[in-house]
Structure 1
Amino acid sequence: MDVFLGIDTSCYTTSLCLVDKNYDVVADERIILSVAKGGRGLSQSNMVYQHTRNLPVLFERLAGVLTTAHIRAVAVTDQPRRRDDSYMPAFLAGLGYARALAAVLHVPLYRLSHQENHLLAVLRTLGRVGSEPFYGLHLSGGTTDLLRAVPDEKGLDITRIGGTSDISAGQFIDRMGVALGLPFPAGVHVDKLAQTVTPPVRGAHVFCRDGEISFSGPESQGQRLVAAAADSPARLCSWTLSTVWRGLENLLVFAATDGMSHLAAAGGVMSNGYLRRQLSDWCRRRHVRLDLAADGFSADNASGAAFWAAVQEGKKS
């Protein structure tokens, strides 16, 4: 069986993924990076160290599959965004493994950005990249970007047209979660607690101007609420997610006035059940086609990279 290998070494997760020629996932292995209790992130040197330890473990997990599968091509994320000024040492760990493996196996190596990898994970569920431009929403621990994406020979030519002017949605959620004593990254724990509150608590106003939103004011407000024990942790989690949605809704309205008719939403924050439901309802009402990654593939993973390798090699057949 021919398979295509994707590798992603991001700020939060070490990921390997194998897909077949039909773009179905054959194997998906990940290790979330460890953060000390009470911590709100990792240094780049610590990320590189953990990726260096994790990658051999993940390849050992793939060993059983690779006894009967043949790697046709390798694709790896090598920077956060496809820009000359976009650099992060964490991606060097995966890039080194990818280059070595491709050289030893004498197979093609494809390089793409972490942001492209996320949007391609969404397109994998469609079974094609296509040629038409589309809008993207990339929501992760460090990124909240409204994008316009155009497929090209390298992957996706992405232009940022809006997003946050300060902290990301993921950082806002994580900071609130850590302040409430939840483990980092806190997204899944905030989501779980928020689900116990019905109806959801109304969120704070989120400033927006020309497609740029700001979560720093609501975060300061939220920290004061936590410090004052102004409400239960569950209700504060609900307030946090409702505030994030109010900010995202501002971005979506801006995109709609820009002509958005097709949106692909990706990134770890899009694993959140409440936000997915709110986004789906908004797009349905506005007659915007919405594509989301398959369950489990919104968070950091390497399926987009593996998919891109399969697509590129398929063109040669």
Structure 2
Amino acid sequence: MMSEEGHITVLGIETSCDETAAAVVTDGRQVRSSVVASQTELHRKYGGVVPEIASRAHIENIYPVIAEAMSQAEVGKDDIDAVAIANQPGLTIALVVGVTAAKTLSFMWGKPLVAINHLHAHLQSALLNEERIDLPAVALVVSGGHTSLYDCESPLDLTLLGSTIDDAAGEAFDKVATILKLPYPGGPSIEKLARTGDAKAIRFPRSMLGRDSLDFSFSGLKTAVLYHCRGQDMKGADRVDEMDEREIADIAASFQAAVIDVLVRKTKRAAGRIGARTVLLGGGVAANGTLREAMEAMCRRHRPPLRLLVAPKQYCTDNAVMVASLAYHKIKAGLLADLTLEPSSTG
């Protein structure tokens, strides 16, 4: 399993949604290459990811991306100790492309195969530069398809505390951006516009789902934005075209504030419940600067203060570095997969 020098070099592959990614990482931290083929332009006109289009793009990109990752890392198949693949959760039609490629390379090269949970890998992004973390830790993954809280005892020991019951935070950003006629993807568009808006202009609802709940719901918030723009009976004219930029910016800022308020308050609630010392934050929405600032402020005010570890922005969105990094820990623990591995839309 290990090279002659005692190091473990992993080729990671990620195709869970609309990014085709491959990376080579040694010992879980030394990032030797990271290649991502984005599909944003393919899906932009639809305002969201179209699974069939995503799958076809993965098929076209998968082997060129893997070849480029190995070229940049200056490694050949003999330098790779294992092949890791994110096989869950995600779009099955997209996952199957990466899983097939990984199993093929594992078989052809005679290398071990490692199965990775995509959400757990997002949290690994926050640990890339850490020797150790103060436990227990509460971990929040915020992405387009998932909003989940975990009790994290180690990179391999994660217990789900709560998750979304309808729209995930990133999905809500995309849908509200569509309502406001902002460019896809919605997260960056809303964040940029919100900087010029008043976050207190509109008091959008914060769904906490009960005083003890650690689950998330953003569907009602999305609907509140829609009603604000179209009227409570949805029979009014779409007022967005008549709004000036300041009014749209106020809606964006107020919506973003509502999402962030819920994320921070739920994380604080979870930290108190498990007696956390550390907060981990990962996923595409974790790139949002306002969220990062709000989470940092909460951790600073908490008694005792919490340490916040956030994924570097280049590793917030889907990537294969996080896959290869988490695979290192699974290899060390002897947790390998075999060629019967299948993709799963849930995880």
TM-score (norm 1): 0.86
SS in 2 for 1:117: helix
Letter of the structure 1 residue corresponding to residue 284 of structure 2: G
Paired position in structure 2 for 1:197: 197
Q: Distance in 2 between the 1:53 and 1:43 partners?
A: 16
Does residue 74 (structure 1) correspond to residue 83 (structure 2)? The answer is yes
Distance in 2 separating the partners of 1:203 and 1:102: 53
Instruction: Give 2:251's match in structure 1, choosing from 221, 236, 240.
Output: 236
Distance apart, 1:292 and its partner CA: 0.9
State the Cα deviation string for residues 97-124 of structure 1 (Å, max 9, x = none).
1111122222221111111111112122
Mapped partners of 2:162, 2:202: distance in 1: 24
Give the whole-Å Cα distance in 1 for the aligned partners of 2:181 and 2:222: 16
The 3 A distance-change label for structure 1 pair 288 and 58 is: same
The 1:22/1:7 distance shift into structure 2, 3 A limit, reads: closer
Conserved 8 A contact 1:203-1:246: no
**2:100 maps to 1:93:** no
Hey, what does 1:188 align to over in structure 2?
188
Contact 2:85–2:98 (CA under 8 A) maintained in structure 1: yes
For residues 116-161 of structure 1, what are the alpha-carbon distances to aligned partners after superposition, in whole Å with 9 as ceiling and x for unaligned?
Answer: 1111121222146x7955321010001111112343xxx6243322
Mean Cα deviation higher: 63-72 or 282-291:
63-72
TM-score (norm 2): 0.79
CA apart distance, 1:46: 3.0
Identity of paired residues, percent? Answer: 27
Of 121, 140, 143 in structure 2, the residue corresponding to residue 140 of structure 1 is 143
Q: Which amino acid aligns with 2:125?
A: A
| Number of positions where the alignment pairs a residue of Structure 1 with one of Structure 2 | 307
Deviations for 1:47-96, whole angstroms, at most 9, x for unmatched residues?
32221112123124235335445222221111118xxxxx8332111111
The answer for the alignment partner of 2:220 in structure 1 is 217
Code of the aligned partner of 1:149: C
Cα RMSD after superposing both structures: 2.7
Return 5+ residue gaps in structure 1 as ranges. Answer: 82-86
More strand by share: 1
Which position in structure 2 is the counterpart of 1:168? 168
Determine which structure has more spread, i.e. the larger CA radius of gyration. Answer: 2
- Inter-partner Cα distance in structure 2 for 1:47 and 1:68: 28
* Distance verdict in 2 for CA 1:9–1:133, change over 3 Å: farther
Which of 4, 9, 12 is residue 3 of structure 1 equivalent to?
Answer: 9
